[in-house]
Structure 1
Amino acid sequence: MRLLAIADLHLAGAVNREALDALPPHPDDWLIVAGDVAERIDMVADALALLADRFAKVIWVPGNHELWSRPSSDEPVGAARYEALVDRARALGVVTPEDPFPLWPGPLPHGVGRLAVAPMFLLYDYSFRPDDVPLDAVVEWAEETHNVCSDEILLSPAPFESRIAWCHDRLARTERRLRAEIPAGTRTVLVNHWPLRRDLVRIPRVPRFTPWCGTVRTEDWHARFDAYAVVTGHLHTRRTDMRGDTRFEEVSLGYPRQWDHGRGIAPYLRTIVG
């Protein structure tokens, strides 16, 4: 029994959809899906249904792509869209950031007595920008190198006044739950689409994309909430980093050009525990 993880399936691409369809069953394993499954709610739900049928348990958090809405669509926007996604996932038995944190029932890492998986939805607040770039100049600064995130057009924060306000609301809600619901002596696997630490955002291909990559308010969450591992996506830079005794796993698959189709998706499932 293993706890596996992947992010950024980006199923708008036919190659990625076909590869997901070909993913073999893992009936004994749990799977973390760390956001950016697809842009349409039905496509996200279809993918989660497929995965729920092939894994013992699926744990999902949204990325920015799930939250995108287009003017031509009649799908909900903003927080209502997130709630609709949660409802669809729950109907499939998929664990969401709004559900109790499941305890891992499988073999535990050495020295770990109990392990809780904590899916989170935190967004970003532009604080991963350079210190000399003021908040009101972030978009203009990123635009100089064509690195502005499409969220500026497609990710509505409604009913919040801004994505920053929504982010800070999510941080407060999530922090309260982590404090209240993680049993004493329990280590965690923290799951969020966006990285929790600024120093782990290394994207030389799009260096001015960093403001859309997280919030400095989570820099120490791995220590505060005794994380055995932190699982994220978003960057499309598959890697493992260590901070103290915590593993930080970036588990993106990515766009079709960013992975080897001949291998299929299975080799890209990162083992977190097992």
Structure 2
Amino acid sequence: MSEHKTLKAISDLHLASEANRDALHALPSFRNDWLIVAGDVGEKFEHIRLAFETLTQKFEKVFWVPGNHDLWAIPETRDARPLAGEARYSALIDCARAYGVSTPEDPFEIWNGAGGPCVIAPLFLLYDYSFRPDAIARDEVVSWASEQGSVCADEFFLDPAPWQSREDWCAARCAETERRLQDIPVGMQTILVNHYPLRSDLIHIPRVPRFTPWCGTRRTENWHQRYNAKVVISGHLHTRRTDWRDATRFEEVSLGYPRQWDQTKGMSHYLRDILPA
């Protein structure tokens, strides 16, 4: 295996858009580099497969975590019954593994290139509506958000079956993930990868300020400290930025919809170098 040069990251490829698919095809080869894809590849399996097939040819190793769009119960054809909830997630995992892509269900791998060693921990945590003002009750949060037109399409498309609710699924995912993270050797630095931001104070979406309930869970606010994170990677917000909290670097690495990035620069311009810093 060749020496790793760079660990890169991107998210929110949204390959339902033709411009984004064209940019994916035009992406040059980074055969010695590893790539983290932090969710929202696309709503259909044809786009998920396209991403995995293309990216694994262009990078030495690819990691992926699911975003909410990947989990939407969207039929592949007009008459097909869509996969939903855990069944859809399991099918996405199988799809990723068929291309050799590392997922939240696989053993954590270690980056030994420049800036390492670091455990790369792909996470699937969802959200539980707790990123909301304290004065707003859970059963009021959707109506509160809708007052400013911020209701997430997940309310219609992200079926949590067999869980009773998305927050129940989130709680189960967080508990299972905590058990796995606690097994990382003491002192080992980590790179935590989640589609959603781990902290509410990292959410900067002034156009839709009441979208926050669909952006994460308060359970993870201190995970960067608990699990010795060197870098935390997320997407979802479509607001590319770098933040620092408690000496940990937080990277929002979204590409976004065609109107949200400069197509003349190509997708490679939006690959974020994670390590070396």
Q: Give the TM-score of the pair, scaled to structure 2.
A: 0.95
The one-character-per-residue Cα deviations of 1:192-246 (angstroms, maximum 9, x if unpaired) are 0000000111110000100000000000000000000000000000000000110
Asked if structure 1 preserves the Cα contact closer than 8 Å seen for 2:43 and 2:74, the reply is no
Asked if structure 1 preserves the Cα contact closer than 8 Å seen for 2:9 and 2:37, the reply is yes
Give the letter for the 1:21 counterpart: H
Q: Which residue of 1 aligns with 2:41?
A: 37
In the TM superposition, residue 158 of structure 1 has moved relative to its aligned partner by 0.1
After TM superposition, list the pairs within 5 Å mapping 1:34-183 onto structure 2.
Answer: 34-70=38-74, 73-108=80-115, 114-180=117-183, 182-183=184-185
Indicate the percent of aligned positions where both proteins have the same amino acid.
60
Q: 1:20 aligns with which of 19, 24, 29?
A: 24
Structure-2 separation of matches of 1:89 and 1:74 = 21
In the TM superposition, residue 105 of structure 1 has moved relative to its aligned partner by 2.3
* C-alpha RMSD of the superposition: 1.0
Structure-2 separation of matches of 1:140 and 1:245 = 37
Q: Give the TM-score of the pair, scaled to structure 1.
A: 0.96
Asked if structure 1 preserves the Cα contact closer than 8 Å seen for 2:131 and 2:200, the reply is yes
Structure-1 separation of matches of 2:211 and 2:187 = 37
Q: Secondary structure at the match of 2:33?
A: strand
In the TM superposition, residue 129 of structure 1 has moved relative to its aligned partner by 0.8
Structure-1 separation of matches of 2:123 and 2:190 = 12
Q: Flag structure 2 segments of 5+ consecutive residues without an equivalent.
A: none
In the TM superposition, residue 185 of structure 1 has moved relative to its aligned partner by 1.9
Q: Deviation above 6 Å: which 4+ runs of structure 1?
A: none
Structure-1 separation of matches of 2:46 and 2:179 = 31
Structure-2 separation of matches of 1:130 and 1:234 = 20
Give the letter for the 1:85 counterpart: L
Structure-2 separation of matches of 1:81 and 1:46 = 17
The one-character-per-residue Cα deviations of 1:75-129 (angstroms, maximum 9, x if unpaired) are 3110110000000101110000000110002122xxx6x2110000000000001
Q: Which residue of 1 aligns with 2:235?
A: 233
Q: How many residues align?
A: 269
In the TM superposition, residue 74 of structure 1 has moved relative to its aligned partner by 2.5
Q: Secondary structure at the match of 2:111?
A: coil
The one-character-per-residue Cα deviations of 1:119-167 (angstroms, maximum 9, x if unpaired) are 0000000000111111001111111111000000000000000000000
Structure-2 separation of matches of 1:173 and 1:40 = 27
The one-character-per-residue Cα deviations of 1:28-73 (angstroms, maximum 9, x if unpaired) are 0000000000000221122111101110000000000000013654
Structure-1 separation of matches of 2:232 and 2:57 = 25
Q: Flag structure 1 segments of 5+ consecutive residues without an equivalent.
A: none
The one-character-per-residue Cα deviations of 1:166-191 (angstroms, maximum 9, x if unpaired) are 000000000000002x1222100000
Structure-2 separation of matches of 1:229 and 1:30 = 15
